A = this chain, B = another copy of it.
Amino acid sequence: MSEHQLDKQETRIFSGRSHPALARQIADYLGVPLEKTHSRHFTNDCMEVHLGASVRSRTVLIVQSLVKPVSEHLVELLLMLDIARSAGARAVHAIIPYYAYARSDKKDAPRISITARLVADLLSTAGATHVMTMTLHAPQVHGFFSVPTDVLTARTEFARLFSERDLKKTVVVAPDVGHAKSAARFARMLSLPVVAADKERVSDTEVLISGLFGRQVRGFRQALVYDDEISTGSSVVEVCKELARNGIDKIIPICTHGVFSGRAFERLGAIPQIPELVTTDTVPQRPSRCPVALTIVPVAPLFGKALWLNFTRQSIGGLYVYGQDAPA
């Protein structure tokens, strides 16, 4: 419980099944009990959800991270929003620490869906009146939401972590030119240089790194590989190998959303230059499965504080990702 308490009578917090531990921490931070949610499947596999406490004329917070199985968790979230709305809640806040669909943010091919926009619309249809999330794959995804939306960042927390470490001969590396902006900002917070790998994606799991990358990183000893999300880690792995090939002997991958799917832990652990991974718990983490040190920045205090500031009419300033551009 923090100094930032909300009115227990006014507020109700519920969690979907994706990440109850995080929901409980946010509830604890705000001094509000986490109410029960009962989810089950009918015998025809349709989901049924029941919210365990009255929401009538109250402010409702629904916490759901869109982790695997994503479709299940999305549908559960939509049902919870619909219940809160139709049961007369005054406001319905969707707290989505990891908005997985953000990666579907543009038409990479004809006749695909910009799913990040579609899901934003579905959330409105189901009843969300406000969305709070963290670091979107591209800052433009913010504009997909038609209700007020706050996009928090863990960048300041990451910078605080490294500001106390030895950063001599260190370079920040963006594994993709398309998202180098955020790495550049992180680098600036630590007064470090930044380089971006010109990765060519061969498939969802294979990438190639262009030749110019090598000459940029030569001479550095340590690399902080900074990304928004690591799933199977295929592109990060390629970049780390390239860094190792070019003489970097300490590499620390950092990411906000640590999905670590497939053989991610295994492949990253197989690179001897990587002693540690740094991430947050927007996705539930199981450190025991990680072969190297896994440093986890907890996000509950960030969400808790942002919600408290929101309900007490204060700017959520420094917690925000302004075009992923906010100063330290």
- State the A residues within 8 Å of B (CB): 9, 40, 42-52, 54-58, 66-72, 74-76, 78-79, 82-83, 85-88, 100-101, 103-118, 121-122, 125-126, 130, 138-144, 148-151, 174, 177-178, 180-181, 184, 188, 193-196, 198, 200, 204-205, 210-212, 215-216, 229, 231-232, 234, 257, 259, 261-262, 309-311, 313-317, 320-325
Q: Is the CB of B122 within 8 A of A78?
A: yes
Residue of B nearest to A47 (CB): B71
A55 surroundings in chain B (CB, below 8 A):
111
Q: Is the CB of B311 within 8 A of A79?
A: no
A200 surroundings in chain B (CB, below 8 A):
184, 188
Given contacts A57-B310, A315-B54, contact A111 B140 (CB under 8 A): no
A69 surroundings in chain B (CB, below 8 A):
45, 71-72
The distance in angstroms between the C-alpha atoms of A113 and B75, with both chains bound, is 12
Report which of B85, B101, B138, B177 forms a contact with A148, defined as CB distance below 8 A.
B85
Q: Is the CB of B144 within 8 A of A87?
A: no
Residue of B nearest to A54 (CB): B315
Q: A44-B261, A71-B76, A72-B72 are in contact. List 9 more A-B contacts (CB 8 A).
A: A47-B70, A88-B148, A110-B317, A138-B140, A174-B177, A180-B198, A195-B212, A196-B198, A212-B216
Q: Which of A43, A108, A126, A321 has the most CB of B within 10 A?
A: A43
Closest 6 CB pairs of A and B: A140-B140, A43-B231, A177-B180, A108-B323, A106-B139, A45-B68
Report which of B47, B87, B211, B229 forms a contact with A110, defined as CB distance below 8 A.
B87
How many copies of this chain sit in the oligomeric assembly? Answer: 6
Report which of B43, B101, B140, B177 forms a contact with A105, defined as CB distance below 8 A.
B140
Residue of B nearest to A51 (CB): B111
A115 surroundings in chain B (CB, below 8 A):
46-48, 79, 82
In the complex, 22 of the A-B residue pairs with CB atoms within 8 angstroms, ordered by the A residue number, are A43-B261, A43-B262, A46-B100, A54-B111, A58-B313, A70-B75, A79-B115, A79-B118, A83-B112, A86-B149, A88-B130, A105-B143, A106-B322, A106-B323, A108-B322, A108-B325, A122-B125, A140-B143, A143-B143, A178-B181, A180-B180, A215-B215
The distance in angstroms between the C-alpha atoms of A113 and B82, with both chains bound, is 6
A143 surroundings in chain B (CB, below 8 A):
105-106, 114, 116-117, 140-141, 143-144
The distance in angstroms between the C-alpha atoms of A51 and B112, with both chains bound, is 7
Distance (whole angstroms) from the CB of A162 to the closest CB of chain B: 19
Q: Which of A9, A58, A88 has the most CB of B within 10 A?
A: A88
Q: Is the CB of B315 within 8 A of A56?
A: yes
Q: Is the CB of A86 within 8 A of B114?
A: yes
Q: Is the CB of B195 within 8 A of A184?
A: no
Q: Is the CB of B105 within 8 A of A44?
A: no
Q: Is the CB of A104 within 8 A of B48?
A: yes
Distance (whole angstroms) from the CB of A308 to the closest CB of chain B: 12
Q: Is the CB of A315 within 8 A of B110?
A: yes
A70 surroundings in chain B (CB, below 8 A):
44-47, 75
Q: Is the CB of A83 within 8 A of B111?
A: yes
Report which of B125, B198, B320 forms a contact with A184, defined as CB distance below 8 A.
B198
Q: Is the CB of B320 within 8 A of A110?
A: yes
